[in-house]
Structures are given as structure tokens and as C-alpha cells.
Amino acid sequence: MRHVCFWLLAALAVAGSAEAWAAAGAGQGNKTVVAADVAVEVEGSQTRFKVTLSEKVTVQTRLMERPDRLIVDLPEVAFHLPANIGRKREGLIASYRYGLFAPGRSRVVMDLAQPAVVSAIRTEPSALSGAAILVIELTRVDREEFRKAAAESAAETGKAASGRAVAEAATDKRPVIVLDPGHGGVDPGANALTGAFEKEIVLSFAQLLKKRLEAQGQYRVVMTRDQDAFISLGDRVRAARAAHADLFISIHADSISGGQEVRGLTVYTGSERASDADSAQLADRENKADAVAGIDSADGPDEVMDILQDLTLRETRSFSHRFATRLVGELDSVARLNKNPRREAGFRVLRAYDVPSVLVELGYLSSKQDLDLLMSDEWRGKAITAMSVAIDRFFATRLVRQGAAAVLP
């Protein structure tokens, strides 16, 4: 346990003193629990996952199949852990990831190397005053037993209720724009060789775009997330509809293994049939974001369309295509565009039948050139200005069309 003590002492050093550790971890009310270290112990058919925390917490676990995962839900935890931890296989755990899942709630997702069940959960005393070691013990089982345990776990837990309420001012008649920074919390998205994560880059970009749009005073801007928290794909769509959004912009930055030559900004609209194989593969990856965070894809089923909704969807997609085309046109002079910058695919996050929606891939984190631009204040400023102009022209044209329709006999 020598390395455990090392990381605990490192956390104490950052805080400044043992008193600071106690202040950070004493009581779960308004104070944050700190996770200072993780250790994995393997013994025969058992694997023990041990987390050193500033205080005891209550945890909930559930199993999921295809792929096999263990989901561990905790109160909000500040993870002060070494970089790149959790990426190598140890016993029954193939890998694990962690992060803020929702306000006041954190999550650890373990990918299982073999079928396993939780055979024990306990708290052990730590050498440091006030700290505790949470131990989750996994035991290997056969496939049938795992499948049964996963089914029972799902029945007991029920569907996770995540997401955030979107406040709406009923008297505010300005167009509503919903900005959707992709990924977040336990779902980091793509990562660059520098260690930067997609979730951080797109959140920063969306915050800057929000600031620019709000400064104009013409729009009400809503963010699906404004911090490093996980939001399910279904909740992102529901947030847009709940806000009665007039435009939904999902912001991403993908990565391709071994593809540094592939680069450039791309704008996508929703479609049942992808415009090309690359778009289909990208949509498939993005649509698995819920699974990364430990949510069954069946948690948010699509609504069954009636004929009126279908007609609305066709009109909505027409508006989406117009905005996407205008957006590409404005960005052409300031951004390096992909060789095919206007594409279509079946992104789940673009499925609101009554909200014009686009997904913007700002660039590829696997391309050093794109990454340099994404980290450049100058480039981001130019891209945000171009997007703002495209938004202004989209709404100017749409309002003119709506006004003309209103005076027709």
C-alpha cells in the first residue's frame, strides 16, 4: 500500500495541509469527497478494486451485458488520480474510466475482461485519519450466471434518470439556440496525443460561442451541459425540445487512428441513410456514447412517428440542410474544411423531429494541424465569428419566410 500513501500525501500537499484534506472530505453536504488513489488486486478468480476516499460513501452497482460492464455510482467525487490510470487490464477488469455523471453524482465504469459479479462491497480503514478505502470485490462466473445477474441488476435499478432541467422564460420571444458540447464526464470522447480530450475542447468552444451569441442580445442560448458532466444522447434531444429550440448545434472533434492526413471541419445533418461509409462509421461511434457511460441504448427509445410528426420532420430537415449549407459557406474562408464538408448520417443526437439540427465536427484530434488550430485562440475566434454570421443569416431568412407566409391569403 506504499503507493496509496504516496498519492494521498500528494493530494494533501496540493491542499496545503491535513486540515485542508479534512475540510474537503468532511461531510457530504456541500463538500466534495476526494478520491486520492485506486489499486487493483488480483487473487485467483477474484479481483478487488480499491479506492482511497476522503470519507465513506454509499455506492450502487449494476451489471450490463454486450459489452460486459460493471457500473459503480457514487456521490460527487473529485478524482485526484494519476494520468492514464485505468487503461491496462488487471485481472477481471479490462479497463476502467471515471468522472462526473450528473450534478452531485459520479460514476466509475469498468469494462470486464471476463464475466464477473460483485461478490462483496466493504469499507476498510485507512492509515490516514478520516480517510477510507472502498473495496469492490469481483468474482468470475460463467456466462449464464452473469446474464442472470445483469438482468436482475437492471430490474432492481430501473432506468437511470439523468439530464438537467432547462429553464425557459415564457415571455422571452427571442429565437432559442441550444449548443450541445459532445461527450462529458465519464465519457471523454476522442483524445489527442497531447492528452487533451474531446469533451474539454468542445466545451471550451461552445462556451465561447455562447458568449458571442449572448453578447448580440438577439438570442436565448441554452447549453446541454456547461460543465464536465455526462448527458445521455436522449437527454440532449429532450433538452432541445423542452427549450422549444429553434436551432440545435452539436459540437464535436473526432479522431482517427493512424490518420493524420485526414483533417478538416465537417457539418452533418441527420438522415436514416448515411451519405458515405465514413459518415456511417462516425455516426455509429457517436451513437455508442451512452454505452461508454454505462447506459443501455434502450434507455431512450425513439418516439413513434405519426403522419403529422413525419411531415414536421421533413420540413425541419429542410431547415437543417439550409443552415448546414450556409454554415459551410461562412466557414470556408476561415477554416480548413474536409474534402467533403457537407455530409449526412443517422446521429441519434440529431433526431428531434421539430428542431433544425446539425452536428459540427470542428476537426480531427488525430491531425496535428487540426489540433493546433483547435487550441488556437485566433482560429477559434474566426470560426466562432463565421458561425455567428451563419446563424444570423439563417434566422433572418427564416423570419422573412415566416412573415411572408403569415400575410398570404
Instruction: Dump pLDDT digits (tens) for 238-283.
Output: 889 988 999 999 999 988 765 567 789 999 999 988 988 988 888 8
**Higher pLDDT, residue 21 or 204:** 204
| Domain membership flag for residue 166 | no
In the sheet that holds 220-223, the strands lie side by side as: 220-223, 176-181, 247-254, 357-364, 265-270, 337-345
Instruction: Give the domain CATH number at 332.
Output: 3.40.630.40
Average pLDDT over residues 61-72: 90
Residues 137 and 213 in one domain: no
Whether the per-residue pLDDT at 8 is higher than 60: the answer is: no
Q: What is the mean pLDDT of the chain?
A: 82
| Domain membership flag for residue 163 | no
Taking CA 356 as the corner, what is the angle to CA 379 and CA 187, rounded to the nearest 5 degrees? 60
Residue span of the structural domain in which 387 resides? 176-407
**Residue 275 CA: distances (Å) to CA of 325, 346, 369:** 15, 10, 26
Residues 30 and 143 in one domain: yes
Whether the per-residue pLDDT at 106 is higher than 70: the answer is: yes
Whether the per-residue pLDDT at 16 is higher than 60: the answer is: no
Using 50, 70 and 90 to split pLDDT, how confident is the model at 180? very high
The pLDDT tens digits of the residues spanning 350-395 come to: 988 899 999 999 999 989 999 999 999 999 999 999 999 999 999 9
Query: What's the pLDDT at 335?
Result: 86
Average pLDDT over residues 334-357: 92
The residue type at 176: V
Residues 165-197, buried b or exposed e (16+ Cβ, 10 A)?
A: ebeeeeeeeebbbbbbbbbbbbbbbbbbeeebb
Residues 88 and 122 in one domain: yes
Instruction: Give the domain CATH number at 39.
Output: 2.60.40.3500
Q: How far apart are CA 365 and CA 197, in angstroms?
A: 9
> Of 86, 117, 152, which one is at a domain's C-terminal end?
152
| Domain membership flag for residue 45 | yes
Residues 116 and 202 in one domain: no
Residues 57 and 183 in one domain: no
Q: How far apart are CA 221 and CA 209, in angstroms?
A: 10
| Domain membership flag for residue 200 | yes
Residues 118 and 213 in one domain: no
Query: What's the pLDDT at 47?
Result: 97
Query: What's the pLDDT at 305?
Result: 53
Length of the chain: 409
Residues 53 and 132 in one domain: yes
Q: Which helix (H) or strand (E) holds 312?
A: helix 307-331
Q: Which of 108-112, 155-159, 177-181, 390-394 has the lowest mean pLDDT?
A: 155-159
Residues 279 and 193 in one domain: yes
Name the most confidently modeled range: 136-140, 235-239, 349-353.
136-140
| Domain membership flag for residue 105 | yes
- What whole-number percentage of the chain has pLDDT above 70? 80
Whether the per-residue pLDDT at 102 is higher than 70: the answer is: yes
CB atoms closer than 10 angstroms to residue 286:
24
Query: What's the pLDDT at 156?
Result: 67
Residues 144 and 213 in one domain: no
> Of 105, 120, 152, which one is at a domain's C-terminal end?
152
Q: Is 395 helix (H, G, I), strand (E, B) or coil?
A: helix
Residues 134 and 222 in one domain: no
Residues 376 and 261 in one domain: yes
Whether the per-residue pLDDT at 71 is higher than 50: the answer is: yes
Query: What's the pLDDT at 392?
Result: 96
| Domain membership flag for residue 158 | no
Query: What's the pLDDT at 14?
Result: 36
Whether the per-residue pLDDT at 208 is higher than 80: the answer is: yes
Q: How far apart are CA 164 and CA 143, in angstroms?
A: 36
Query: What's the pLDDT at 24?
Result: 43
Using 50, 70 and 90 to split pLDDT, how confident is the model at 296? low
Using 50, 70 and 90 to split pLDDT, how confident is the model at 323? very high
Average pLDDT over residues 30-38: 84
The residue type at 323: F
Q: Which DSSP category does 169 fall into?
A: -
Query: What's the pLDDT at 311?
Result: 73
Residues 182 and 94 in one domain: no
| Domain membership flag for residue 35 | yes
Query: What's the pLDDT at 111?
Result: 93
| Domain membership flag for residue 60 | yes
Total domain count, the chain: 2
Using 50, 70 and 90 to split pLDDT, how confident is the model at 46? very high
> Of 93, 120, 152, which one is at a domain's C-terminal end?
152
